[in-house]
């Protein structure tokens, strides 16, 4: 199987990095396109895959095509390549709001289409990808595309109506987690900890907490209660976060993300 990426920025690089690291495909099996020579040079250096500035070249030489440009450029790049799509092609969209029926309509013919909503932790093999497929995808097609997504983290197949929720809860949320880590580290720096060390402490605390949720299956509230000794330090922090409306802020932020995704 030959895999092609139209556009290869943050997300494309993270996905291909995972695919190569896991050995799902070899460098020779992957081709990516760029808008600029600078981008092309970056992919040559970072990934070592075949690179072109001609999007049509990607479609002509690969059978699985990932549309990895920003959502506002989807229409333009599909317009450039659609005459080269054949029934052998399998198309994967990764943009919020670009539904499978919209993609098929833009491509102008019945095609096997999947949508991934990955996230940047894919870069270190810890991605979370929501995936949905259209009715033309066979079980074998689904196996092939899921194997790709599994190369850079966990994958769950969801109905398309949940893709906007996925955009919020795992596509965008790493940005909020990074803000949280940065804020925690700032506080540690204010207490005198060197900055680099503060990032390690904060990030490992987030990583370990996430693993506790995933590996114990315990309710996050129960895990929180286990940290809060009576009259201790943690419950003081909980009081401050509740007063500042932390839960509500997170709830509203993710709702805004999902709503924005629906409008794209």
**Can you give the binding site for ligand NAP, defined by CB under 6 A?**
6-12, 33-36, 39, 55, 68-71, 73, 76-77, 94-96, 117-120, 171
Taking the least distance from each CB to ligand NAP, the nearer of 40 and 184 is: 40
Nearer to ligand NAP, 30 or 95 (CB): 95
Q: Is residue 88 within 8 Å of residue 82, measured between CB atoms?
A: no
CB 111 within 8 A of CB 104: yes
**Shortest Å distance, C-beta 135 to ligand NAP:** 23
Comparison of 90 and 93: residue with beta carbon closer to ligand NAP: 93
What's the min distance (Å) between Cβ of 216 and ligand NAP?
Answer: 28
What is the rounded CA–CA span in Å between residue 264 and residue 262? 6
Q: Which is nearer to ligand NAP, 133 or 198 (CB)?
A: 133
Q: Please report how close the Cβ of residue 233 comes to ligand NAP at its closest, in angstroms.
A: 34
- Smallest distance from ligand NAP to CB 110, Å: 23
DSSP string, 132-198: EE-TT--HHHHHHHHHHHHTTEEEEE--GGGHHHHIIIIIIHHHHHHHHHHHHHHHHHHTT--HHHH
Question: Read out DSSP for 11-72?
Answer: HHHHHHHHHHHHTSS-GGGEEEE-SSHHHHHHHHHHT--EEES-HHHHHHH-SEEEE-S-GG
CA distances to 13, 23, 116, 167 from 95, in Å: 15, 25, 8, 9
In terms of CB distance, is 24 or 120 closer to ligand NAP? Answer: 120
Least separation in angstroms between residue 218's CB and ligand NAP is 28
Q: Which residue is nearest to ligand NAP (CB)?
A: 9
Q: How far is the CB of 254 from ligand NAP (least distance, A)?
A: 14
Q: Considering beta carbons, is residue 174 or 228 the nearer one to ligand NAP?
A: 174
């Amino acid at each position: 199987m030959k895999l092609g990426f139209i556009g290869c920025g943050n997300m494309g690089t993270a996905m291909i990095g995972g695919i190569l690291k896991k050995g799902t495909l070899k460098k020779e099996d992957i081709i990516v396109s760029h808008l600029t020579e600078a981008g092309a040079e970056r992919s040559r250096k970072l990934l070592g895959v075949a690179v072109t500035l001609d999007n049509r070249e990607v479609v002509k030489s690969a059978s699985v095509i990932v549309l990895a440009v920003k959502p506002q450029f989807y229409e333009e790049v599909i317009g450039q390549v659609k005459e080269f799509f054949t029934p052998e092609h399998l198309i994967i969209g990764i943009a919020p709001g670009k539904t499978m029926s919209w993609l098929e309509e833009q491509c102008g013919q019945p095609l096997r289409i999947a949508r991934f909503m990955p996230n940047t932790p894919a870069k270190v093999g810890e991605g979370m990808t929501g995936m949905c497929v259209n009715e033309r995808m066979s079980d074998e097609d689904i196996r092939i595309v899921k194997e790709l997504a599994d190369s850079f983290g966990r994958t769950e197949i969801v109905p398309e109506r949940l893709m906007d929720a996925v955009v919020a809860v795992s596509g965008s949320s790493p940005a909020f987690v990074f803000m949280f880590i940065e804020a925690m580290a700032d506080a540690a720096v204010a207490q005198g900890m060197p900055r680099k060390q503060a990032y390690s402490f904060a990030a490992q605390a987030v990583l370990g907490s996430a693993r506790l949720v995933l590996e114990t299956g315990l309710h996050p509230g129960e895990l929180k209660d286990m940290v809060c000794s009576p009259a201790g330090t943690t419950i003081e922090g909980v009081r401050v976060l509740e007063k500042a409306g932390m839960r509500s802020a997170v709830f509203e932020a993710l709702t805004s993300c999902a709503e924005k995704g629906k409008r794209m």
